[in-house]
């Protein structure tokens, strides 16, 4: 604290002549410690998740080859274009809980002859009331080949979730065969060629089950550990380095989550320490749930702060699971994979058929910035993160219905943060007066992350205050700024959002920033996400 107090007082004078000017004295401090690298920010931290749930696949991604909606082989073109804009690194499929009942063979062969199955989510009361269609009765029009084609069009790597609840290790081996066996080598390679791809897909990311403590089999952790060993033993790799990701914790109670992590590692290592060689990552799921009315568009200022507070819980979860994993993996060769995260509201729905869909607002934009900054600050602990979900669902980047399409506030934050991809995360330290709300609750005043890319420094900062700007002294310890540009996502109303009728209501603004030297003052707008891209001297 003494160090921060000293910096705040001495740097205020040096920063006074630098833009943006403010009549307010600095009440915050942001330090970027250039000589304290944390780890590499893998592009996979900005991964996505797609499930056969509501309108994610049908009408979201897949519109059909004969659709009047612009498409590439049946895949919505507007979505592909935006995914390429994001440099989308990886997409997870087929679930989620849908994966726990999915037989990959159903999505192969001529589309007109593929079986129609009852969707996993059909028992949900809201979906059952909706009209019949692919959201309730899965036509399997969109199968492995179609998903791989979507990934190829987007420039993203595929990440497949195997069904551990109701299929066998042999079924898994054969799915790997279908995806990765060389052209003309096996019967399943011929099946793949008939579906549209003679050449292998070379899938390396494989999730062994999904939420195996719940919809993925109701296993105890030690029981699931046995299944993990069975599914990953002697899988044909076809010369690839397959990366198996175990189904990790995701319950609401933190103590139960840690118990699953410990129980899984104990069960896995019961056979011997060599079993760690099969484990690339441990999955973790965490959603922040809305409070008050539970409405995505109608909420109070206290509801705003409470959701941002819940989003910040991700920080402690990453730390706690990392420590628990370290009890068994002393060298930390196994990384965390946060392959489901985001905010969860109750609506209003985009379409009655689109289960769990809603229109995101600025509140969801800040939830996104908070999480992406957390991932950056823990870069050494993570291998991949996947926002849930991509389109027409919870924490969605895109809204799509028939010929209408709109990017959400969440999309714009991902677009801003793509500048971090491939950079080196740096120690980021911030302090600002906390925000009091509710009955004795509080939230930090400023938070963010930083990464360096050669002579470019990228700094992202979230100001969660619903109505007040935050003036902060920004200090580059070990570097000096020569010039910069700033991108800000903000709106006068914390409920601001994009929808089909107003697809550009909220968009970030980019402009030159009057920044120079090793320290400067900056005013962060209220309820905002800010990115400073700084050219270093």
What 3 state SS string does 443-458 have? ECCCEEEEEEECCEEE
Same-domain status, 376 and 469: no
285: left (phi over 0), alpha (psi -120 to 50) or beta: beta
The alpha carbon of residue 275 and the mean position of all alpha carbons in its chain are separated, in whole angstroms, by 28
Tell me the pTM.
Answer: 0.95
Same domain, 243 and 339: yes
Residue 93 lies inside a defined structural domain of this protein: yes
Nearest to 390 by CA among 171, 163, 75, 65: 75
Task: Report the length, in residues, of the chain.
Answer: 537
| Same structural domain, 35 and 49 | no
Q: What is the DSSP string of 300-343?
A: -HHHHHHHHHHHHHHHHHHHHHHHHHHTT-TT--SEEEEEEEEE
Same domain for 178 and 129: yes
CA–CA dist 64, 62 (Å, integer): 6
Q: Are residues 388 and 514 in the same domain?
A: no
Instruction: State the number of CA atoms in the 13 A half-sphere of 453 facing the CB.
Output: 15
Is 213 in a helix, a strand, or coil?
A: coil
In a domain, 430, yes or no: no
Same domain assignment for residues 163 and 256 = yes
Spell out the residues 6+ positions from residue 351 whose beta carbon is closer than 8 angstroms to its own. Answer: 55, 59, 357, 392, 401
* Region of residue 259 (left: phi > 0; alpha: psi -120 to 50; beta: else): alpha
What is the domain-level CATH number for residue 467? 2.60.40.1180
User: Distance between CA atoms of 162 and 2, rounded to whole angstroms?
Assistant: 52
Catalytic residue at 340?
yes
Dist CA 60 CA 401 (whole Å): 7
Nearest one of 255, 316, 313, 250 to 283, comparing CA atoms = 250
Both 194 and 291 in one domain: the answer is yes
Residue 50 lies in a domain: yes
- Record the tokens describing residue 349, joined without a space: 């729905």
Give the single-character DSSP code of 354.
Answer: S
Distance CA 250, CA 321 (A): 11
Q: Are the CB atoms for 322 and 265 separated by under 8 Å?
A: no
User: What DSSP designation does 361 have?
Assistant: B
- Distance (Å, rounded) from C-alpha 213 to C-alpha 100? 12
pLDDT in tens, 172-185: 999 999 999 999 99
Residue 439 located in a structural domain: no
Radius of gyration of the CA atoms of the chain, in A: 23
DSSP string, 411-424: HHHHHHHGGGTT-E
CATH number at residue 108: 3.20.20.80
Q: What is the pLDDT of residue 251?
A: 64
The β-bridge partners of 523 are 471
pLDDT digits (tens, 9 = 90+) for 152-211: 999 999 999 999 999 999 999 999 999 999 999 999 999 999 999 999 999 999 999 999
State how many domains the chain has: 2
Beta bridge partners of 437: 441
pLDDT of residue 253: 63
Neighbours of 108 (CB within 10 A): 20
Of the residues 31, 174, 275, 340, which is catalytic? 340
Residue 424's pLDDT is 98
**Domain stop point among 386, 421, 456:** 421
Angle between helices 144-154 and 187-195 (to 10 degrees): 60
Per-residue confidence (pLDDT) for residue 25, from 0 to 100: 82
Let me know whether 229 and 322 are in one domain.
yes
Whether 375 and 461 map to the same domain: the answer is no
Range of the domain at 472: 2-40+445-536
CA-nearest of 182, 214, 217 to 198 is 182
Asked whether residue 377 is domain-assigned, the answer is yes
Question: The dihedral of CA 157, 143, 340, 298: what is its sign?
Answer: positive
CB within 8 Å of 361: residues ≥ 6 apart = 296, 297, 409, 494, 495, 496, 497
- At residue 15, the pLDDT reads 35
- Residue 284 backbone dihedrals phi, psi, to 5 degrees: -140, 135
- Chunked mean pLDDT (size 10), the chain, 537 residues: 35 35 76 98 98 97 98 98 98 97 98 97 89 95 98 98 98 98 98 98 98 95 97 97 94 77 97 95 95 92 97 96 97 97 91 94 98 98 98 98 98 99 98 96 98 98 98 98 98 98 98 96 98 98
> And the tokens for 469?
């700007």
* Main-chain dihedrals φ then ψ at residue 193, nearest 5 degrees: -65, -40
22 and 47 in a single domain? The answer is: no
Residue 429 lies in a domain: no
- List the one residue out of 438, 489, 413 whose CA is nearest residue 301: 438
Is 213 within a domain? Answer: yes
- 386 and 352, same structural domain? yes
Whether the CB-CB separation of 108 and 187 falls below 8 Å is answered with no
Query: What SS3 class is residue 170?
Result: helix
Domain assignment of residue 224, yes or no: yes
Active-site hit among 44, 138, 146, 211: 211
Q: Based on the fold, state whether residues 93 and 236 are members of the same structural domain.
A: yes
Categorise residue 74: left if φ over 0, alpha if ψ from -120 to 50, beta otherwise: left
Q: What is the pLDDT of residue 11?
A: 35
86 token code pair: 């994001």
């Amino acid at each position: 604290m003494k160090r921060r107090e000293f910096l705040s007082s001495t740097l205020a004078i040096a920063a006074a002549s630098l833009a943006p000017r403010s009549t307010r004295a600095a009440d915050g401090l942001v330090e970027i410690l250039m000589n304290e690298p944390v780890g590499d920010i893998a592009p996979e931290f900005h991964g996505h998740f797609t499930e056969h749930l509501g309108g994610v696949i049908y009408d979201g991604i897949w519109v059909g080859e004969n659709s009047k909606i612009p498409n590439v082989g049946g895949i919505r073109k507007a979505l592909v274009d935006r995914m390429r804009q994001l440099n989308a690194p990886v997409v997870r499929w087929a679930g989620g809980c849908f994966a726990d009942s999915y037989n990959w063979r159903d999505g192969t062969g001529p589309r007109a002859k593929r079986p129609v199955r009852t969707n996993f989510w059909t028992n949900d009361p809201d979906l059952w009331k909706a009209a019949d269609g692919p959201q309730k009765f899965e036509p399997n029009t969109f199968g492995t080949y179609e998903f791989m084609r979507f990934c190829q069009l987007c420039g993203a790597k595929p990440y497949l979730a195997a069904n551990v609840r109701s299929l066998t290790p042999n079924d898994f081996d054969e799915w790997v065969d279908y995806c990765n066996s060389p052209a003309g080598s096996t019967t399943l390679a011929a099946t793949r060629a008939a579906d549209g791809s003679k050449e292998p897909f070379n899938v390396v990311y494989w999730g062994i089950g999904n939420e195996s403590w719940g919809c993925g089999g109701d296993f105890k952790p030690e029981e699931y550990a046995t299944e993990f060993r069975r599914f990953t033993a002697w899988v044909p790799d076809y010369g690839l380095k397959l990366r198996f990701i175990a189904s990790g914790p995701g319950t609401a109670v933190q103590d139960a989550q840690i118990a699953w992590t410990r129980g899984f590692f104990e069960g896995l290592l019961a056979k011997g320490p060599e079993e760690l060689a099969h484990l690339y990552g441990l999955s973790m799921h965490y959603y922040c749930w809305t409070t008050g009315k539970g409405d995505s568009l109608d909420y109070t200022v206290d509801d705003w702060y409470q959701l941002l507070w819940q989003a910040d819980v991700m920080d402690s979860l990453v730390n706690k699971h990392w420590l628990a994993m370290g009890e068994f993996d002393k060298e930390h060769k196994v990384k965390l994979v946060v392959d489901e995260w985001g905010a969860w509201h109750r609506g209003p729905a985009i379409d009655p058929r689109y289960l769990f869909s809603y229109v995101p607002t600025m509140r969801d934009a800040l939830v996104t910035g908070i999480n992406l900054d957390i991932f950056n600050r823990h870069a050494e602990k993570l291998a991949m993160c996947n926002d849930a979900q991509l389109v027409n669902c919870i924490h969605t980047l895109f809204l799509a219905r028939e010929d209408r399409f709109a990017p959400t506030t969440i999309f714009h934050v991902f677009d801003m943060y793509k500048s971090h991809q491939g950079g080196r995360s740096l120690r980021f330290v911030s302090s600002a007066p906390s925000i009091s709300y509710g009955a004795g609750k509080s939230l930090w005043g400023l938070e963010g992350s930083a990464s360096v890319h050669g002579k470019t420094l990228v700094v992202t900062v979230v100001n969660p205050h619903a109505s007040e700007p935050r003036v902060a002294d920004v200090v580059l310890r070990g570097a000096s700024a020569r010039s910069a540009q700033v991108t800000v996502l903000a709106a006068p109303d914390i409920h601001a959002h994009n929808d089909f009728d107003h697809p550009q209501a909220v968009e970030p603004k980019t402009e030159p920033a009057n920044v120079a030297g090793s320290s400067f003052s900056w005013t962060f707008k209220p309820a905002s996400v800010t990115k400073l891209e700084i050219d270093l001297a």
